[in-house]
Amino acid sequence: QQQVKQSPQSLIVQKGGISIINCAYENTAFDYFPWYQQFPGKGPALLIAIRPDVSEKKEGRFTISFNKSAKQFSLHIMDSQPGDSATYFCAASRAAGADGLTFGKGTHLIIQP
Amino acid sequence: DTEVTQTPKHLVMGMTNKKSLKCEQHMGHRAMYWYKQKAKKPPELMFVYSYEKLSINESVPSRFSPECPNSSLLNLHLHALQPEDSALYLCASSLQSSGSYEQYFGPGTRLTVT
Q: Is the minimum CB–CB distance between B101 and chain A shorter than 8 Å? A: yes
CA distance A52 to A87: 24
CA distance B101 to A93: 9
Residue of A38, A93, A102 to mutate for B, most B C-beta atoms under 10 A = A38
DSSP B9: S
Cα distance from A42 to chain B (closest Cα, Å)?
5
- Residues of chain A contacting B53 with CB distance shorter than 8 Å: none
Over pLDDT 70: what percentage of chain B?
96
* pLDDT per residue as tens digits for the range A19-44: 999 999 999 999 999 999 999 999 99
Cα distance from A71 to chain B (closest Cα, Å)?
19
* pLDDT per residue as tens digits for the range B34-51: 999 999 999 999 999 999
- Collect all residues with Cβ–Cβ distance below 8 Å to A107 and sequence separation of at least 6: A6, A7, A8, A9, A10, A11, A21, A87, A88, A89
CA distance A113 to A84: 11
Mean of the per-residue pLDDT values for chain A?
94
CB contact under 8 A, B96 and A96: yes
C-beta separation of B23 from B32 below 8 A: yes
Q: Quick one: pLDDT band at residue B98, thresholds 50, 70, 90?
A: low
pLDDT score at A4: 96
Residue B66: Cβ within 10 Å count: 20
CB contact under 8 A, A34 and B102: yes
pLDDT score at B101: 81
The whole-number mean pLDDT for each consecutive block of 10 residues of chain A, a chain of 113 residues, reads 89 98 95 96 95 94 96 98 98 81 97 95
CA distance A99 to A112: 38
CA pseudo-torsion sign A61, A24, A30, B104 = negative
C-beta separation of A21 from A5 below 8 A: no
- Collect all residues with Cβ–Cβ distance below 8 Å to B70 and sequence separation of at least 6: B52
Residues 69-98 of B with CB under 8 A from A: 90, 92, 94-98
User: What residue of B is the nearest CA neighbor of A108?
Assistant: B40
